[in-house]
Structure 1
């Protein structure tokens, strides 16, 4: 069983690397298919009855996106002017739509929310981070010709994700809508500077990893389950709160740093309205985490006497993730 997991993880990484490093569109499509075939067996979990349904939904949505990508490739090859292949409006539109579907961006985002609900925290982290890497890289191929459409998509995704997550009580759904909002920021950063996008993606992955690890160890899928867990282990409230605030982009934590860099590059390009939309949507998503932290702080601990030995029982990865949030150059803000 461990050999199978290692093989699936290896081919999952291999498929993504093929897609982002290929010069041939057919190789890009093939890499995405290898990635898809590798991730579906990883979703299947005998301990979760909903994993089968999630794997089917994921397969159908990704197959539709791959079919549209293949149609886009065929349209490109039918062009008789190789110098202007990428300027084909039909192929570019299909390419953009297929990558939007793979990223789970509105209005094609319902599959992403439903799949997130039925998989484990480990697979959830992979779906929110690594599985987004190749589609975002491919999406850059059409950005220069579809900039206006991309801007509309970014703003629409930011607004929908922030509003849709307001009334959620499930932790996977909250992280899913937050992930869509972060994708809007990452695509915005790709419009101006790819290095900023890589920084943003890395910081987002670190924050998501620390939060999913804690949610997995607490076996919490609802806010009330998390409250019950932290009532028994109150020493984790501080660490979880900082990780959530960092993921939400609260200054001066680490999660604010890539957002600040993105804003610095967007403003000189006269994209003030885009910047305003992203900022307001981030304030709304930050309310998700503020609500969770507020409820956690109101939770009464089962043991009123806090022992020093309890602090020593904190796992190293939780302390490390909390400390990383402070390892940013604070002077850069000035």
Structure 2
């Protein structure tokens, strides 16, 4: 069975990406829904490919939540745009004040389904529990790529954003950042912590999308690059990073600890790290429209998230034998190391450079 696994995984990975592209590029609500379903059917086998019990449990939880979200999405879109005599996306650009009571219910069902798929407040509790049983590869796609199509669908109905809906979505985004910070403060499992971290960053992305697509693209691009760096380090660590904080960096993990600490500071938005650039763009653009309540919620949630980033940072920094290495240790690493060691050192060094100097590159690009 395992001999066919690489081909099967590649096929479902193709479905995963293809489904998201269908949803993003479609001009009809039916094809948007079909793309979301193709993406779901492609991601489930990737999520449970090893057949372990925890992975199977995470796959079932993810399938149930996403299936419920898809049902609400289909029902809400049919109620709203069916009453408008068309399912084309052009019918989404209507005046919110012209909707009747039934259409308002359908519209809020549509918003509820998208927030459920994204794992934002108040439907965030499934994200950490699903992350617990994922591999690092599956966890990366769960926290990054799987959010892309629902975000585009959410922003495609921005024609409905009157003052009331703008406030509702903005407050939900701010509360997502807040619960992402509060929920991760008591966690000792790396995967749960990354899940709550994703909930917090999703709140920032929701608010950035309300400010404009360019703002969302800047923040999502920065978060995507930082996530790649993070999961590269965790993938190199392998099984040692499967459990809790105390399983990290036991013996001579100087390079891995340095790369991991730089990524943590970048995720927390500490200047001058790369993650600071995305939050700076959102704050500056948000100040232009004077939404101080939303920005305050986002910053407060980000400060709470920074607390557990720093807890993990100092845990790595002061771990035994993680940073204090003698010349004899380096000599033995050089003599006994293999090509994989040097490749790992190069990758982690590149990660440190990206997080330290990536913000300079962003200023020239954006």
TM-score after normalising by structure 2 = 0.85
Alignment pair present for 1:225 and 2:247: yes
Task: Provide structure 2 residue ranges, at least 5 long, that are not aligned to the other structure.
Answer: 97-102, 335-340
Change (3 A) 1:265 1:80: closer
| Cα shift at 1:74 | 1.6
Moved more, 262-271 or 139-148: 139-148
1:113 is aligned to 2:128: yes
CA RMSD of aligned residues (A): 2.2
2:330 aligned with 1:307, yes or no?
A: yes
| TM-score of the pair, normalised by structure 1 | 0.93
1:47-196 aligned within 5 A: 48-80=52-84, 87=96, 88-143=103-158, 144-145=161-162, 146-196=165-215
Deviation at 1:310, TM superposition (A): 4.3
Q: Quote the Cα distance in structure 1 between the aligned partners of 2:81 and 2:201.
A: 34
1:300 is paired with a residue whose SS is coil
Moved more, 185-194 or 296-305: 296-305
Report if the CA contact (8 A) 2:76-2:107 is conserved.
yes
Is the Cα–Cα contact under 8 Å of residues 227 and 295 in structure 1 kept in the other structure? no
Give the 3-state SS of the residue equivalent to 2:23 in structure 1: helix
- Corresponding residue for 2:100? none
In the other structure, the counterpart of 2:359 is 328
Matched, 1:248 2:268: yes
Tell me the alpha carbon deviations over residues 106-159 of structure 1, each in whole angstroms, 9 at most, x when there is no partner: 221122111111110100000000000000111113342421110121121111
2:322 maps to 1:318: no
Matched, 1:31 2:35: yes
How far apart, in 2, do the equivalents of 1:327 and 1:170 lie?
29
Figure out how many residues of one structure are paired with residues of the other and give that number: 331
Displacement of 1:289: 1.4
For the residues of structure 1 that align with 2:362 and 2:143, how far apart are their CA atoms? Answer: 31
- Tell me if the contact between 2:128 and 2:193 (Cα under 8 Å) persists in the aligned partners: no
Distance 1:80-1:330 versus aligned 2 partners, 3 A rule: closer
The aligned counterpart of 2:287 is 267
Return the alpha-carbon distance in structure 2 between the equivalents of residues 49 and 73 of structure 1: 36
Match of 2:338 in 1: none
Q: Deviations for 1:196-220, whole angstroms, at most 9, x for unmatched residues?
A: 2112111111111111222222221
**Structure 1 residue 80: deviation in Å?**
4.6
Instruction: Report the alpha carbon displacement of residue 160 of structure 1 after superposing the two structures with TM.
Output: 1.1
Question: Which residue is 1:40 aligned to?
Answer: 44
Task: From the superposition, tell whether residues 121 and 77 of structure 1 become closer, same or farther in structure 2 (CA, over 3 Å).
Answer: same
SS at the partner of 2:83?
Answer: coil
Secondary structure of 1:106 counterpart? coil
Distance 2:362 2:331 in 1: 35
Cα offsets for 1:230-274 (capped at 9, x unmatched): x33223222211111011111111100011011111012111121
